[in-house]
Amino acid sequence: MSENITITSNQIMKAVESLKELRPVYGTILDFYGQIFVAQEDSKCKLHIDPIQISEEMLSIKAEENFPLINMSEFAIDAKEAGNLLIRICDIVKKAGGDMVSTNQTVLKAIEAGKFDQKELFASLLNEDDAFFENTAKELEIEKKALAFIAYNSLKPSLSMCAEQLSAYLDKDKPWGKGYCPICGSSPGLSMFQGEGERFLICGFCWHKWASNRIFCPFCDNTDTKTLNYFFSEDEKEYRVDLCDGCKKYIKTVDTRKAERIIYPPLEQVATLHLDIKAKEMKYESGIHFA
Ligand SMILES: [Zn+2]
Ligand SMILES: [Zn+2]
């Protein structure tokens, strides 16, 4: 079973306002990300992506071997629209001020000067070409993480649209049951309880959502209740952090049944940084590659 995440810009802004009321300390960060997420949803409406075709034969091999439909490097993207979004994201960063402003200006100037092009940036992200990010960041004297942030956030609408198109190939009657994304093989970035308490995992890369067992660590397949724990705060009943003593990793969980607001997973992800801090203090590691 799978389900796509569709939400309007208006709903994102409403979710931002609800979260700001609940957690005023996140005001600035929520405003910032709210604008980025709205820009991404707007951009998604303008995308032109030819759906990836997978033959019946390939599909049955993948299903038999529990392989994801594609790997990260195979995502179909709209590089032109991602490039437009990159400029818009740089503009949002500029207006927000803070540490990333000079980084973004440097990236824009470097692109204008032809030091590298956006296509190369996006391809390097999809190919996990760490050397490109390492060298480019060094050459431009910027943070590698900031360069990856800009590249990933510009590509995110393409990734989620491509994942939505591909999800038509997934067998709706056969639960995936794995801890990695059935679309792209990445680790989940967030977990959710919905409906009657069914658990879903959300891909940390393409944001595809898939059904999962409740008692299960997606990072090491642990199902032993003795080594699977969680913590939560009385003040924030809609969140909990699932901890695995098998692999010492954690995943944040949003219990949508306990939240009276629109749930937009990327926003919940950034509004819970205090939980990441707490889990890391408890010596657990995040399983996410891209944040
Ligand atoms: Zn994925
Ligand atoms: Zn584990």
Task: Select from 192, 186, 208, 181 the least CA-distant residue to 289.
Answer: 186
Residue 206 Cα to ligand 2 middle (Å):
22
Question: Which value, in Å, is the radius of gyration of the alpha carbons in the chain?
Answer: 19
Closest ligand (CA of 229): 2
Residue 22 Cα to ligand 1 middle (Å):
30
Tokens of 58: 């390939």
Closest ligand (CA of 248): 2
CA pair distance 65, 140, nearest whole angstrom: 43
Question: Tens digits of per-residue pLDDT, 237-255?
Answer: 999 999 999 999 999 999 9
Q: Work out the mean pLDDT of the chain and round it to a whole number.
A: 91
How does DSSP classify residue 52? P
Task: Select from 258, 261, 274 the least CA-distant residue to 193.
Answer: 258
CA pair distance 178, 95, nearest whole angstrom: 41
CA distances from 148 to 63, 86, 93, 123, 160 (A): 32, 12, 14, 12, 17
Residue entry with tokens 């994801």: 68
Question: Tens digits of per-residue pLDDT, 264-284?
Answer: 999 999 999 999 999 999 999
Residue entry with tokens 């431009």: 140
Closest ligand (CA of 156): 1
Closest ligand (CA of 185): 1
Residue 182 Cα to ligand 1 middle (Å):
7
pLDDT tens sequence for the chain (291 residues) = 334 456 788 999 999 999 999 999 999 999 999 999 999 999 999 999 999 999 999 999 999 999 999 999 999 999 999 999 999 998 898 888 777 777 778 888 888 777 778 899 999 999 999 999 999 989 888 888 888 999 999 999 999 999 999 999 998 888 899 999 999 999 999 999 999 999 999 999 999 999 999 999 999 999 999 999 999 988 899 999 999 999 999 999 999 999 988 999 999 999 999 999 999 999 999 987 654
pTM above 0.85, yes or no: yes
Q: What are the backbone angles phi and psi of residue 240, rounded to the nearest 5°?
A: -150, 160
Closest ligand (CA of 220): 2
Residue entry with tokens 């296509």: 119
Closest ligand (CA of 184): 1
Closest ligand (CA of 179): 2
CB-based contact 41:119 (threshold 8 Å): no
Q: Where are the chain's structural domains?
A: 25-169
Closest ligand (CA of 228): 2
Residue 62 Cα to ligand 1 middle (Å):
15
Q: What is the DSSP string of 128-170?
A: T-HHHHHHHHHHHTS-HHHHHHHHHHHHHHHHHHHHHHHGGGS
Residue 290's pLDDT is 53
Residue 247 Cα to ligand 2 middle (Å):
4
CA pair distance 220, 243, nearest whole angstrom: 12
Q: Which residues, chain by chain, have CB under 5 Å from ion ligand 1?
A: 181, 183-184, 186, 203, 205-206, 208
The amino acid sitting at 140 is L
The half-sphere exposure of 158 on its side-chain side, counting CA atoms within 13 A, is: 28
